[in-house]
Amino acid sequence: MLTEDLAAFALGLRLADVPAPQVQRATRLVADGLACALGARGEPLAQRLAAHARRQSAPTAASATLLVGGGRATPALAALANGTALRILDANDLYLPSPGGRDGGHFSDALAALLGAAEIAQASGADLLAAVIAAYELQALVADAADWRGHGWHPVTPLVWALPASLARLHHRPLAEAVAATSLAGTTGQALQSWLRPDVSVTALKSVAPGLCGQRAVEAVELAAEGVTAPPDALEVMLRQLGSAPEVAPADRLGRAWTLDRHIVKRYPAQYLLQGAAEAALALHAQGVRADQVDAVTVYGHAGVCGGVHGAPHAYAPASHADADHSTPFVVALALLRGRLTPADYADAPWAAPEVRALMARVRLVETPERQRAYVEQRLIGCEVVVRLRDGSERAVAIAQPRGHPDAPLADTELVAKLDDLLAGALGPAGGERLLAACAALPAAPTLAPLLALVSEATAPPS
């Protein structure tokens, strides 16, 4: 039975069974996800969710560290608050199936709940990494099994099916409970695709949904431990409802065909399909192009960068951070204006600044058959940005795959630069290196104490 096979894989996975390159990738993904959460410490929504978690948590209950503002909360509320923080900047990784595959999801969304569970269970670094790897592999299997988005479900949905078994692993729960928790969470916690549409602005639900899924998964494991049962074949039932037989999710691939090398580690805090546009605009700025010289900007690309929510009318008039990081015109305009695109560049609502609005109005999005065909057939997600200067000359930069894509992975120096952008000095001038080193040390770490100490240092208020 599929649900049981998934749970058995998560419960039985040992880090020693995972090839060394996959373990190394996992440590980098953990560092990236933690930095994304810590980088949200100045975001009002993340602060409100953390405050909510602190208020609602009983002081005597088992508790986990909050990544925004410090303090502790129950595991479920910590998963909600930390999951929101991890997702809010839209800087965390994303699964990119092979050409012809289904939509991926942000599999590091699982990290928030797993870190809390590992802390409470006093797990080792190897235990945490094994649970993280299991959660990534299970999400990939579920994501590949059905056309979730095509049936109206957001790609965060595989998280709620995959996470309970990895949580049960950290808490040393039996197989029957892991299966029940999977069915409890998956049956009741799926994410309807309601918030990424061209006809509406992007709301806070985009950021909160992964945290809500994590909260539901944590609660499902707790309920299963109390004897609450659920049908053992809920995932199979769901796949049939979506027109996919359970056999399209071959559980025997688990532990054989690893997927950790199929994630984009985004260099810039923007939706993944906009990474090429940001990179091209920054390259133009590095070549000497300045916004006051620009008469017009044209982005030639596929439907993912030139259409949908990224090119909708509200993308030319963002009303929030969530709108802005999904707006091709905004990302291109800000990169050309500032020569950088970091979380700090979203401070003080730059999308409302007159100079940003003026340049956005000069950005034209053109979907081309060639780029669309390459996107569909080869999964090339880049684009070309062409600027026409006021003197009549043109400059152009074309990107096939942006940096961070599996075809163009970030070097350690590039990843550290991203981590530094996210941490913004919270761990000192070498913060990115310190965080990456702490995560690289997890396979041999007998406890999580060094990593949690680093997290506490990053969340401490400035002296």
Domain at 173, CATH number: 1.10.4100.10
The reply to whether 286 falls in a domain is yes
pLDDT at residue 325 greater than cutoff 60: yes
Q: What pLDDT was estimated at residue 462?
A: 59
215 and 259 part of one domain? yes
Q: What pLDDT was estimated at residue 111?
A: 98
Report phi then psi at 366, rounded to 5: -125, 115
Residue where a domain terminates, one of 240, 264, 288? 264
Q: What pLDDT was estimated at residue 344?
A: 96
What separation in angstroms does the CA of 76 have from each of 61, 62, 82, 427?
Answer: 11, 10, 10, 27
Structural domain tally of the chain?
Answer: 2
Roughly how many angstroms between the first and final C-alpha of the chain, as a whole number?
Answer: 55
Contacts from 333-339 at CB under 8 Å and sequence distance 24+? 333/291, 333/297, 333/359, 333/360, 333/363, 335/278, 335/281, 335/282, 335/285, 336/281, 336/284, 336/285, 336/289, 336/290, 336/291, 336/294, 336/297, 336/387, 337/291, 338/285, 339/282, 339/285, 339/286
Strand residues in 64-219 grouped as ranges (E): 64-65, 72-73, 94-95
The span from the CA of 266 to the CA of 58, in Å, is 37
The reply to whether 43 falls in a domain is yes
158 and 288 part of one domain? no
pLDDT at residue 446 greater than cutoff 90: yes
User: Tokens 């599996």 map to which residue?
Assistant: 406
229 and 352 part of one domain? no
Q: Who wins on pLDDT, 100 or 429? A: 429
133 and 105 part of one domain? yes
214 and 362 part of one domain? no
211 and 353 part of one domain? no
Q: What pLDDT was estimated at residue 191?
A: 83
pLDDT digit string (tens) for 30-87?
Answer: 999 999 999 999 999 999 999 999 999 877 778 999 999 999 999 999 999 999 999 9
235 and 371 part of one domain? no
The reply to whether 418 falls in a domain is no
pLDDT at residue 184 greater than cutoff 60: yes
The reply to whether 434 falls in a domain is no
Do 120 and 87 touch, CB atoms closer than 8 A?
no
138 and 218 part of one domain? yes
User: Tokens 């909510």 map to which residue?
Assistant: 52
243 and 310 part of one domain? no
* Buried-exposed string 1-31: b where 16+ CB fall within 10 A, e elsewhere: ebbbbbbbbbbebebeebeeebbebbbbbbb
**Residue 99: pLDDT band by 50, 70, 90 thresholds?**
low
Residue where a domain terminates, one of 398, 424, 457? 398
Quote the domain boundaries for residue 22.
2-264
The reply to whether 426 falls in a domain is no
78 and 130 part of one domain? yes
Report phi then psi at 294, rounded to 5: -90, 125
CATH number at residue 277: 3.30.1330.120
> What does the DSSP assignment read for 53-79?
HHHHS-TTS--EE-SSSS-EE-HHHHH
The reply to whether 319 falls in a domain is yes
* pLDDT > 90: percent of the chain: 85
Instruction: Say which range, 107-111, 145-149, 177-181, 445-449, has the weakest mean pLDDT.
Output: 145-149
Residue where a domain terminates, one of 398, 418, 442? 398
The reply to whether 452 falls in a domain is no
117 and 260 part of one domain? yes
276 and 260 part of one domain? no
Q: What pLDDT was estimated at residue 237?
A: 92
pLDDT digit string (tens) for 256-295?
Answer: 999 999 999 999 999 999 999 999 999 999 999 999 999 9
Identify residue 346 by its one-letter amino acid code.
Y
Residue 181: which H helix or E strand, with range?
helix 175-188
Q: What pLDDT was estimated at residue 101?
A: 54
3-state secondary structure of 397: strand
The span from the CA of 355 to the CA of 351, in Å, is 9
pLDDT digit string (tens) for 157-175?
Answer: 999 999 999 999 999 999 9
pTM: 0.96
The reply to whether 425 falls in a domain is no
